[in-house]
Structure 1
Amino acid sequence: MKLLKTLAAAAVIASPALAQTPGVTDDEIKIGGAHDLSGIFAPFSVPGVSAVKAYFDKVNAEGGVHGRKLTYIVEDHGYQVPKAVQAANKLVNRDQVFAMLLSLGTPHNLAMFQLMEPQGVPNVSPLTAARQMVEPFESWKFAGTSSYYDATRVAIEYMSENEGTEKVCIMSLPTDFGKEIEGGVKDLVENGVVELGVESGHKPDESDFTGALGKVKESGCDTTALALGIGQTINVIATAHKLGMDDMKFYLSSAGFHTVVAKGLAQQGVMDGVYAGAGWQDLEARAGEPAVAEWIANYKEATGTDFPGTGALLGRSAAQVMVEGLKAAGPDLTREGFIEAMETLDFQDPISGNHVDFSAEDHVGADEIFVSRIENGSWVLVETVE
C-alpha cells in the first residue's frame, strides 16, 4: 500500500496541467498493456497481444490514425498483482502511454487504477469482465463486454430452466474475479432459483482438485461454477469425469469461454456438460461468415498461427475500439477529447458478433450475453440475451 501511494504521488507530479498530451507526438501514439504472458491466463493474453499488434500494423501501413502510427507497449505481470503495479508504473510514468488497452486481470487492473486515476489515463477493454472495470463510474474507464456477474446470473438461470440445474457448488480463485462469479450464483440463491452447495478457494498454482471435487460430490451439487485459470478449468472437469462424476454440469464464466478449453476437454474425452456465459460469440462456430473468414485468413498470414482463437478475437476487437475512438477524437488528440469521442461510438463488431456502443452514461461497450455449451469439442450458442 505504501508503494502504491508513493507511485500515485509520482504520477500526479509527472503530469502538470499544461504538459503535452502524454504518449502523443506528431507521428506516434503510445498505448500500453499489462498482461499475463507467462501465467495461468496466458492463453488469453499471448494471442490477444498478437492480435492488437497485427491490427495496429495494418492501420499503420495504411497511414496510421490522423497521420500518427500506433505503438503497443506490453509488460508481463504473470498474473501477479505486485508485478502489475510495477508494469503500470513503467507504462504510465516512464513510457507515458496515452491509454491502456486490454490489460488482463481483475485485481491487477484494480491495483493499476491507483496509478492511472490521478492522470486520468483511459483504460479501454480490459481482459476482465468484472463490474469494477466501470463501477464506480469514472470517465476514463471503458469495459468491453457485459460483466462476469450478469453473465453468470443469465447462464445459470438458463441452466436451471433448461438443463436441470438445482444445486450449485463453487470452486474459485480467492480474488475479485472469483468474487464476481460467487456474487452471481449467490444472487440466484437469494432469489430462490438454485440452492448453494459447498464453496472452495484455490491458489493460482494449485493442480490437485481431487479432494475439492470429493466435497462437491458429497454436497449433492448437480452443477459446479468455476472461476479458475484455463489449465485449472480443464484439469478440474477432466478429473471429475475420471472420478465418475459424469452427470456433473460445469459453468464457466467468460474467463473460461475459450477455444482452448473446448479442445483441451475433447482431448480428455469430455464432449458435453460444460456451459459458459460471455459478452461475445465463439469464433470457430462462425468461421464460415465472410467477415470472420477474411479476418482469420489475415491473422494467420500476419502471425503464422493456425487458428486465432478466443484471446485473439478479444484483442482484435479491443484494438478496433481503440482505433475507432482515436479516429473520432480527431487530430488534436487529448485524453479528454478521446473520452468524449469514445462516448459516441456505435458499431457492429462482426468478429466478436456483438454490438458496441458507448454513451456519456454507459461505458460498457457490448451489453449482450451469449450462453454457450460444449458439444463434441466446440462451443455451440444456445441463448442470446440482449
Structure 2
Amino acid sequence: MKNIVTKSILAAAFAMGMASAAHATQGVSDTEIVIGSNGDLSGIFAAFNVGAIKAAQQLFDEVNAKGGIHGRKIRLVVEDHGYQVPKAVQNFNKLINSDQVFAMILNLGTPHNLAGFPLMEAKQVANVSPLTAARQMLEGDISYKYTGFSSYYDQIRAAVSMLAEQNDAKEVCAMYIPSDFGLEVHEGAKDQAEKLGLTYAAETTHKPDEQDFVGSIQKLREAGCDIVATGLGVRQTIVAYGTAKKLGWTDVAFVGSSAGMNTAVAKVPEGVTEGYYAAAGWSDFENRLDNPEVKAWAEAYQAAHGEPVGTAAQLGYGAARAVVQALEAAGPDLTAESFRTGMESVKYHDAINDVDIDYGPDHQGGNLIVISKIEGGKWVEVGRLDESEVK
C-alpha cells in the first residue's frame, strides 16, 4: 500500500512538473500573458505616456473580452518613473524579476530604455515600441528590440533639409537636453548642416526641469540662427518657442523631432505655438477624421475615457496592435522565440498613424518621416518621405 501511495505521489509530481515545463516561459500561463510598461506618467513627457497607456489598455480589454489570444488574457502592469533614470531601473527590476513580465511596451525615454536593456535581455523580455525614437533602440543585439517608427536623427535631418531649401536658411542651431535623447537631435541638426554646406552656428543645453529660456533665445538670435532644432520636454518646447515669439524673433524656424509632435503642443491657447514644426514617424490623426476607421477609433477612446484622443493614444494603439498581432502569430506555444517570429511577421497599414508597418528582420515597424507644422491649433502635414530618402 505504501509503495502504491509513493508511486501515486511521484506520478502526480511528474505530471505537475510536465505542466510547469509546458509553461516555463516567464509571464505566460495557461490563462494569462503579463505585459509590462515603464514610462513617464508624471514627468516632462507625461503627455506622450498617459494617453498611450489608456489606448493600449483599451485595445487589450477588447481582445480579452473576446476570449483573449489562444485562450490567454493580457494583463498590463504599468509603472511610473517620472523621467528619472534611477526610478526607471528600480521599476525594470520590479517588472522583470517580481512581476515576471513576458514582454514590455511603451517604455518611455532614451536613457531609461538603455538602462533597462541588460535586465530585459537577461530574461529575453522583448522591448516593443518604446516611446523614444533614438537609434540606440536598435543597436547591438536586436533579438528582443522592436521600434515603432523612424529615428530622431533622421527626422531632424529631413526637417533641416526641407526648411533649409524652403527658407534659404544658412545658419542651423539647436537647443536640447544633453541626454541620449537630446544629443541625437543635436547630432542630426549638426550633421545635416555640414552635409548641406550650411553653418552649425550655435547651441544651448538645458536641464529637464528648466523653464527660463530668455538668455538662450537671445544667444541663438545673436548667432543668426535660421533653423533651431529642439530636443526638449513637452512644456519646455512650448515655453521656449513662446519666449522667442515674445522677444519678437519670428524670422526663424523652430523644429522638433517626434518628441515635439504632440497634441498638447498644438493646442496651446492664444496660438502660442503657431508655426512650430515637427518631424515624426506618423501623421497626426486630427486632419484624418473623415477616415471611418480613424473616426471610430477616436470616438471609442472618447467614450471609454471621457476625454479627447491625442498623440499619445495614437502611439499606444500602434504599440498594442503590434503586440496583439505578434501574439496571435506566435501561436499557442508562446515563447520568446515564437514571439520573435510573430513580431517579424507583423505587416499591415496602420490607419490610425497613417503609416505602413513591417517589422521584419530589421525590427523597425515604420520608415516614414512626416514633417508637420502647427496651423490653426492643428498639426498640418507639409512634407513626407521614407527614411531611406533622407539626403
TM over 0.5: yes
Query: Shorter chain as normaliser: what TM range?
Result: over 0.9
Find the counterpart in structure 1 of residue 91 from structure 2.
Answer: 87
Q: Deviations over 1:86-123 (max 9, x none)?
A: 00000000000000101100000000112111122100
Shift of 1:21: 0.5
Q: Distance in 2 between matches of 1:155 and 1:313?
A: 22
Find the counterpart in structure 2 of residue 40 from structure 1.
Answer: 44
Q: 1:57 to 1:19 in 2, by over 3 A?
A: closer
Moved over 3 A (4+): none
SS class of match (2:258): coil
Q: 1:376 to 1:166 in 2, by over 3 A?
A: farther
Find the counterpart in structure 1 of residue 153 from structure 2.
Answer: 149
**Superposed counterparts of 1:214-253, under 5 Å:** 214-253=218-257
* Residue 309 of structure 2 corresponds to residue 308 of structure 1: yes
Structure 2 counterpart of 1:148, one-letter code: Y
Find the counterpart in structure 1 of residue 335 from structure 2.
Answer: 334
Given that 1:160 and 1:193 are in contact with CA atoms closer than 8 Å, whether structure 2 keeps it comes out as no
SS class of match (2:210): coil
Shift of 1:185: 1.0
| Number of corresponding residues | 367
Find the counterpart in structure 2 of residue 296 from structure 1.
Answer: 298
**Superposed counterparts of 1:158-197, under 5 Å:** 158-197=162-201
Q: 1:270 to 1:138 in 2, by over 3 A?
A: closer
Structure 2 counterpart of 1:196, one-letter code: Y
Shift of 1:18: 9.2
SS class of match (2:147): strand
* Residue 268 of structure 2 corresponds to residue 282 of structure 1: no
Shift of 1:333: 0.4
Structure 1 counterpart of 2:381, one-letter code: L
Q: Distance in 2 between matches of 1:253 and 1:168?
A: 15
SS class of match (1:132): helix
Shift of 1:292: 0.3
Find the counterpart in structure 2 of residue 257 from structure 1.
Answer: 261
Scaled by the length of structure 1, what TM-score is found?
0.93
Find the counterpart in structure 2 of residue 322 from structure 1.
Answer: 323
Q: Distance in 1 between matches of 2:227 and 2:194?
A: 17
Find the counterpart in structure 1 of residue 18 from structure 2.
Answer: none
Shift of 1:226: 0.6
Given that 1:251 and 1:275 are in contact with CA atoms closer than 8 Å, whether structure 2 keeps it comes out as yes
Find the counterpart in structure 1 of residue 144 from structure 2.
Answer: 140
Q: Distance in 2 between matches of 1:83 and 1:164?
A: 45
SS class of match (2:28): coil
Find the counterpart in structure 2 of residue 125 from structure 1.
Answer: 129
Given that 1:238 and 1:268 are in contact with CA atoms closer than 8 Å, whether structure 2 keeps it comes out as no
Q: 1:269 to 1:107 in 2, by over 3 A?
A: closer
Find the counterpart in structure 1 of residue 383 from structure 2.
Answer: 383
Q: Deviations over 1:310-355 (max 9, x none)?
A: 0010001100000000000001100111001111111000001001
SS class of match (1:145): coil
Q: Distance in 2 between matches of 1:130 and 1:234?
A: 22
Q: Distance in 2 between matches of 1:376 and 1:159?
A: 20
Given that 1:204 and 1:229 are in contact with CA atoms closer than 8 Å, whether structure 2 keeps it comes out as yes
Q: Distance in 1 between matches of 2:273 and 2:192?
A: 27
Q: Distance in 1 between matches of 2:46 and 2:131?
A: 11
SS class of match (1:366): coil
* Residue 67 of structure 2 corresponds to residue 63 of structure 1: yes
SS class of match (2:49): helix
SS class of match (1:364): coil
Which ranges of structure 1 fall in alignment gaps of 5 or more residues? 1-16
Find the counterpart in structure 2 of residue 347 from structure 1.
Answer: 348
Percentage identity across paired residues of the two chains: 51
Q: Distance in 2 between matches of 1:135 and 1:198?
A: 29
Find the counterpart in structure 2 of residue 12 from structure 1.
Answer: none
Q: Distance in 2 between matches of 1:270 and 1:114?
A: 39
Structure 1 counterpart of 2:159, one-letter code: A
Q: Distance in 2 between matches of 1:39 and 1:213?
A: 24
Which ranges of structure 2 fall in alignment gaps of 5 or more residues? 1-20, 387-391
Q: Distance in 2 between matches of 1:340 and 1:92?
A: 22
Q: Distance in 1 between matches of 2:335 and 2:126?
A: 11
SS class of match (1:300): helix
Q: Distance in 1 between matches of 2:71 and 2:302?
A: 27
SS class of match (2:382): strand
Find the counterpart in structure 1 of residue 13 from structure 2.
Answer: none
Given that 2:150 and 2:369 are in contact with CA atoms closer than 8 Å, whether structure 1 keeps it comes out as yes
Q: 1:165 to 1:376 in 2, by over 3 A?
A: farther
Given that 2:172 and 2:198 are in contact with CA atoms closer than 8 Å, whether structure 1 keeps it comes out as yes
Find the counterpart in structure 1 of residue 370 from structure 2.
Answer: 370
Find the counterpart in structure 2 of residue 3 from structure 1.
Answer: none
Shift of 1:165: 2.7
Find the counterpart in structure 2 of residue 14 from structure 1.
Answer: none
Q: 1:269 to 1:85 in 2, by over 3 A?
A: closer
Shift of 1:19: 7.4
Q: Distance in 2 between matches of 1:313 and 1:163?
A: 31
Q: Distance in 2 between matches of 1:93 and 1:18?
A: 20
